[in-house]
């Protein structure tokens, strides 16, 4: 399992992962318990992740600390984290920000921190990772210790974390097409409406058919502003859609997929049909 290490650069050396746990420490011993707590963790309800590229979402949280903790120190870092399972022994890669969170001081012992969750699907995610992720926050005070130095003493490094602060959905982006034919069509004649529902495959970097999913066919009359449901059908094993309707008036046909906990909702762009 890959653990992202590119969290922060401190005093010219790669910082310890903000996900610091005893299992990843190069030096013996453990960090001391840092006098920091976290609350008011806010994150979007769902993150849409395509087949390739970089996806990011903002997280805010409150950091409360003792007077012995200098959150303005250059080698103090904090980050939000997403994980599955537990923070210490996750079942998937932990997701965090490429850069540390930025904290705005509210009082002598509190601050509001804003950080990113950066996701690179080809590196970070398996298809089975789609679904609910839990939120956590972590803080590390290096106190002048250089993780890359020969005299690095981890016992002088402070560490605090809090898991179970919130949840979000990490979902595979879906795409949907529609085509109604023939065009134009005689009134009362049969229209064949086809389309395809696909979703991001994070392991191949491509989009693939989404099988046996319910999809609505909707229609909007020319010059109208809203669509109405015509029928519901399911995709086949390749994600294909095909149905027929009787042509009546000019208008737009589209397919609508309402999404799942693992794939995003999507509407196909309406396909206009001229009825003669």
Overall average pLDDT of the 206-222 stretch: 99
For domain 9-172, the CATH architecture is Sandwich (2.60)
Say yes or no to pLDDT of 55 above 80.
yes
Say yes or no to pLDDT of 16 above 90.
no
> Do the domains 174-273 and 9-172 match in fold?
yes
What is the C-alpha separation between 206 and 199, in angstroms, rounded? 8
* Domain range annotation of the chain: 9-172, 174-273
The residue ranges of DSSP E strands in 174-213, in sequence order, are: 174-181, 190-201, 206-209
Say yes or no to pLDDT of 4 above 70.
no
What is the C-alpha separation between 270 and 276, in angstroms, rounded? 19
Tokens of 25: 């420490």
Give the residues across from 257 on adjacent strands. 266
Who's near 55: CB < 8 A, 6+ residues apart?
47, 48, 49, 118, 119, 120, 121
Proportion of the chain above pLDDT 90, given as a percent = 89
Nearest to 19 by CA among 72, 119, 92, 94: 94
Looking at residue 27, its pLDDT comes to 52
Say yes or no to pLDDT of 21 above 80.
no
Say yes or no to pLDDT of 14 above 80.
no
| Maximum C-alpha span of the chain | 84
Say yes or no to pLDDT of 90 above 60.
yes
Tokens of 138: 């972590």
Overall average pLDDT of the 212-221 stretch: 99
| Helices vs strands, H then E, count in the chain | 1, 20
What is the C-alpha separation between 103 and 17, in angstroms, rounded? 19
User: Are 196 and 255 spatial neighbours (Cβ–Cβ below 8 Å)?
Assistant: no
**CATH entry 2.60.40.730 includes domain 174-273:** yes
């Amino acid at each position: 399992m890959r653990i992202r290490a590119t969290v922060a650069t401190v005093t010219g050396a790669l910082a310890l992962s903000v996900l610091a746990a005893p299992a990843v420490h190069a030096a013996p011993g453990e960090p001391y318990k840092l006098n920091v707590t976290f609350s008011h963790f806010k994150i979007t309800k769902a993150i849409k992740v395509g087949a390739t590229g970089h996806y990011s979402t903002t997280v805010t949280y409150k950091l409360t600390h003792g007077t012995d903790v200098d959150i303005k120190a250059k080698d103090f870092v904090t980050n939000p984290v997403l994980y599955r399972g537990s923070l210490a022994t996750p079942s998937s890669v932990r997701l965090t920000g490429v850069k540390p969170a930025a904290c705005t001081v509210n009082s002598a012992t509190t601050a509001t921190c804003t950080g990113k969750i950066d996701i690179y699907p080809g590196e970070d995610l398996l298809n089975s990772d789609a679904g609910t992720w839990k939120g956590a926050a972590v803080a590390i005070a290096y106190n002048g210790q250089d993780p890359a130095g020969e005299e690095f003493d981890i016992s002088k490094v402070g560490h605090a974390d809090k898991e179970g602060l919130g949840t979000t959905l990490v979902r595979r982006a879906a795409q949907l097409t529609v085509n109604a034919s023939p065009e134009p069509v005689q009134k009362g004649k049969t229209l064949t409406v086809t389309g395809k529902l696909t979703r991001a495959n994070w392991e191949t970097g491509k989009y693939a058919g989404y099988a046996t999913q319910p999809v609505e066919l909707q229609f909007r009359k020319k010059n109208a502003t809203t669509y109405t449901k015509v029928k519901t059908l399911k995709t086949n094993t390749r994600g294909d859609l095909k149905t027929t309707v009787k042509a009546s008036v000019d208008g737009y046909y589209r397919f609508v997929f309402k999404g799942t906990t693992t794939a995003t909702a999507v509407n196909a762009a309406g396909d206009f049909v001229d009825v003669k």
